[in-house]
């Protein structure tokens, strides 16, 4: 005997489009969730079909973080909004030193959005979560009228557990500490810019979008006394260093020549009048640790695929005003200030 499907015909994932009924709470929404989300994400919590996920947590302190993902274009070299929504929140959780446990994902879909694109995004989200070993255990779907969204917005919320003895926080940088980064900066921002329809310059730069919790676990195992971790996403490296300096009430001195930047990223930045230090990243972290542990931490980072190009880029110094100073490639010194507004390309 076959079980009769609740739905008269399967969802047309090839040619169909999101319509208002997919967010209305009725049969169409149930079908979208069953035939797309549950199938792709498939885990014991989601399959229970409740409006919440029930699970037990290991001992330790809970960490929670949430992030709304709005990116244009939705698909870019090296990723898409689906994988980005997983990586972004896992990283925010992991920067506390936590092991990420579970994610929740909330989708805001625009009426008319092709179901085929949505299916691609959900598949990518599912794959990113599987690869990271972090299940998406609950979620939500809403549909907004055509013209009131930008295709797809995804908000993900993550929780994780910090093991005892780990105290990583943005206010723990101390004078004398060393500042490290796990690789080339600016890849994500330039990969996105290169895909903007009006800016198709020829480059093969891929986004660095990646979940960093595996790298962080190795780093913590080698150097439990890491003081600060932060992912330099929007606003780039410069903004992150300013945030940490401000939070800790210290200054920083970094060396431009030690900051890893791909040649293609430098070239694109030259062309557009941008500074790579302010360009977004999605698979990078800044780590600050005591000077005597820096070489160990660097070696550990370099031993991990996501830290192969890790580098020591500067030191924390005493400065209650919280300035970040940069020794330029040219031998001069200048402030690496907060980003004002957004970086806008120059006219000439």
Interface residue list for another protein (CB under 8 A):
198-199, 251, 263, 266-267, 270, 272-273, 319, 321, 323, 325, 328-335, 337-338, 340-341, 344-348
Specify the residue, 216 or 238, whose C-beta has the smaller distance to another protein.
238
CB of 66 to another protein, least distance (A): 25
CA dihedral sign of residues 239, 242, 247, 252: positive
Tokens (6 digits) for 95: 């920067």
Specify the residue, 133 or 345, whose C-beta has the smaller distance to another protein.
345
CB of 320 to another protein, least distance (A): 9
C-alpha dist (Å) from residue 302 to 74, 87, 218: 31, 20, 11
Specify the residue, 166 or 261, whose C-beta has the smaller distance to another protein.
261
Specify the residue, 58 or 330, whose C-beta has the smaller distance to another protein.
330
**What is the C-alpha separation between 40 and 35, in angstroms, rounded?**
8
Specify the residue, 68 or 339, whose C-beta has the smaller distance to another protein.
339
CB of 330 to another protein, least distance (A): 4
Kindly provide the b/e burial profile for residues 84-113, where b requires at least 16 CB atoms within 10 angstroms of the residue's own CB. bbbbbbbbbbbbbbbbbbbbbbbbbbbbeb
Interacting residues of 42 by C-beta distance below 8 A, sequence separation 6+? 126
Say if residues 166 and 305 touch (Cβ distance below 8 Å).
no
Residue with tokens 């890849």: 187
Q: How many residues does the chain have?
A: 348
CB of 273 to another protein, least distance (A): 7
Specify the residue, 221 or 321, whose C-beta has the smaller distance to another protein.
321
CB of 4 to another protein, least distance (A): 47
Q: Name the nearest CA neighbour of 284 among 121, 83, 95.
A: 95
Residue with tokens 């880029």: 313
Say if residues 218 and 278 touch (Cβ distance below 8 Å).
no
CB of 7 to another protein, least distance (A): 38
CB of 333 to another protein, least distance (A): 5
Specify the residue, 45 or 201, whose C-beta has the smaller distance to another protein.
201
**What is the C-alpha separation between 288 and 294, in angstroms, rounded?**
8
């Amino acid at each position: 005997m076959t079980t009769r499907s609740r739905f008269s015909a399967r969802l047309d994932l090839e040619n169909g489009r999101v319509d208002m009924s997919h967010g209305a709470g009725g049969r169409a929404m149930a079908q979208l969730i069953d035939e797309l989300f549950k199938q792709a994400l498939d885990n014991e919590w989601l399959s229970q079909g409740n409006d919440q996920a029930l699970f037990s947590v290991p001992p330790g302190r809970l960490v929670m973080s949430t992030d709304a993902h709005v990116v244009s274009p939705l698909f870019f070299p090296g990723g898409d909004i689906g994988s980005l929504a997983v990586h972004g929140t896992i990283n925010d959780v992991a920067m506390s030193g936590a092991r990420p446990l579970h994610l929740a994902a909330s989708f805001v879909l625009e009426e008319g959005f092709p179901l085929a694109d949505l299916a691609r995004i959900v598949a990518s989200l599912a794959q990113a979560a599987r690869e990271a070993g972090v299940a998406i255990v609950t979620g939500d779907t809403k549909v907004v009228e055509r013209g009131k969204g930008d295709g797809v917005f995804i908000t993900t919320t993550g929780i994780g557990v910090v093991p005892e003895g780990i105290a990583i926080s943005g206010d723990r940088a101390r004078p004398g500490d060393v500042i490290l980064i796990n690789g080339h900066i600016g890849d994500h921002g330039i990969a996105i810019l290169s895909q903007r329809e009006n800016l198709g310059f020829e480059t093969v730069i891929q986004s660095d979008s990646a979940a960093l919790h595996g790298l962080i676990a190795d780093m913590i195992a080698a150097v439990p006394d890491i003081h600060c971790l932060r992912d330099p996403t929007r606003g780039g490296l410069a903004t992150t260093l300013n945030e940490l300096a401000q939070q800790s009430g210290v200054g920083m001195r970094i060396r431009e020549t030690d900051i890893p930047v791909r040649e293609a990223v430098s070239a694109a930045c030259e062309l557009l009048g941008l500074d790579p230090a302010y360009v977004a990243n999605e698979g990078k972290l800044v780590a600050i640790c005591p000077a005597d542990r820096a070489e160990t931490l660097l070696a550990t980072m370099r031993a991990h695929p996501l830290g192969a190009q890790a580098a020591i880029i500067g030191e924390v110094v005493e400065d209650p005003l919280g300035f970040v100073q940069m020794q330029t490639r040219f031998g001069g010194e200048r402030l690496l200030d907060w980003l004002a507004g957004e970086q806008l390309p120059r006219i000439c």
